[in-house]
Amino acid sequence: MESRALGYFVAVAEELNFTRAAARLGMSVPPLSRAIRRLESDLGVTLFARSPQRVSLTPAGETLLAEGRLALDALRAAARRTQRTETASLILAMKADGDAGLLDSLLTRYRADPDALPVTIRLCGWGAQPRLLLTGEADVALVTEPFDHTGLDTEVIHREPRVAAVASKGPLAARATLTPGDLGDPVIPDGVTDLAQLLTLIEMGRVRAASLPSSIRARYPRPGITYVDMPDAPPATLAIAWPAMSRSRATAALVRAAEHAALERSG
């Protein structure tokens, strides 16, 4: 199976439409159609149920979509890490302010390790870290639960209670405590990748509430936002994550540093 054909397949499987997929791939429909047919014939399996009105995945197509994405990620990761070998640096992905104040002590400890490399911080949006790790764009990441663990190894380095951020003018602001059930469905609109943005939406009443680590309360004080304790909510856990398959010495050293920084903080 050629990786090019697999890339085509994933595009079609995501769009469920040959025309849009071809546009996304920057090619015309016929070669795409033939490439998919050839892939099906090579594998000896039907991947799509086609009708002029509707393209859908067969069960075999479902598995190829899931497994194929992983394979393509691995391929991209191999290329990226190879290109970055020369520079010999470590990329740490995290959401802005997503370090629970541990970053400084973590980096200080890390630099003392003989295996340490220069560290580049890559700030990214909500939940973008797992993909950065899997595609080789980052080597380590700080992530908060919940996130997609597939293909990652993780180590919890910090836990803290949760608070609910609600609009000060809203009905929830008067409560002494809140439970996860009080918040309703935690729907975060697409395109929101920043905490300040989310808090603004809450002020505006566009989002009802958000459950956040309590350290946010001190870091983002706002008149329009009230933080309410959530004693019943599971604690917010911060973890350090890295690709399960490739733990370099430099990565291992950073994980060690994180563990020690966590111990110092908690103990």
Partner DNA sequence: GCAGGTTACGGATCGCGTAAAAATA
Partner DNA sequence: TATTTTTACGCGATCCGTAACCTGC
Q: Name which of 63 and 197 has its Cβ closer to a second copy.
A: 63
The owner of tokens 């809140």 is 178
- Contact residue for a second copy among 14, 67, 115, 264 (CB under 8 A): 67
C-alpha span between 102 and 119 (Å, rounded): 15
* 8 Å CB contact between 47 and 36: yes
Tell whether residue 2 is a contact of a second copy (CB under 8 A).
yes
- Contact residue for a second copy among 16, 29, 49, 66 (CB under 8 A): 66
Tell whether residue 4 is a contact of a second copy (CB under 8 A).
yes
Closest CA to 61 of 115, 6, 132: 6
State whether residue 147 is helix, strand or coil.
coil
DSSP of 70-113, one letter per residue?
A: HHHHHHHHHHHHHHHHTTT-EEEEEETTTTTT-HHHHHHHHHTS
Tell whether residue 62 is a contact of a second copy (CB under 8 A).
yes
Helix, strand, coil percentages (3-state) for the chain, rounded to 5, are 45, 20, 35
| Cβ 18 to DNA shortest distance, Å | 3
Longest alpha-carbon distance in the chain: 64
- Contact residue for DNA among 11, 13, 36, 167 (CB under 7 A): 36
Q: Which stretch binds DNA (CB under 7 A): 13-21, 73-81, 118-126, 205-213?
A: 13-21
| Cβ 131 to DNA shortest distance, Å | 25
Tell whether residue 6 is a contact of a second copy (CB under 8 A).
yes
C-alpha span between 111 and 86 (Å, rounded): 20
Interaction mask 43-82, DNA, x per CB under 7 A = -------xxxx-x---------------------------
State whether residue 126 is helix, strand or coil.
coil
Q: How many residues bind DNA (CB under 7 A)?
A: 24
Ordered alpha helix ranges (H), 150-194: none
**Residue 18, binding choice from a second copy, DNA, none, Cβ under 5 to 8 Å by partner class:** DNA
Going by their DSSP bridges, the two strands 90-95 and 140-144 should be labelled as parallel
| Cβ 74 to DNA shortest distance, Å | 20
Q: Name which of 55 and 141 has its Cβ closer to DNA.
A: 55
Q: Which residues bind a second copy (CB under 8 A)?
A: 1-4, 6, 43-45, 47, 59-60, 62-64, 66-68, 70-71, 74-79, 81-83, 85-86, 136, 150-151, 244-246
Q: Which residues bind DNA (CB under 7 A)?
A: 2, 4-5, 17-19, 26-38, 50-53, 55
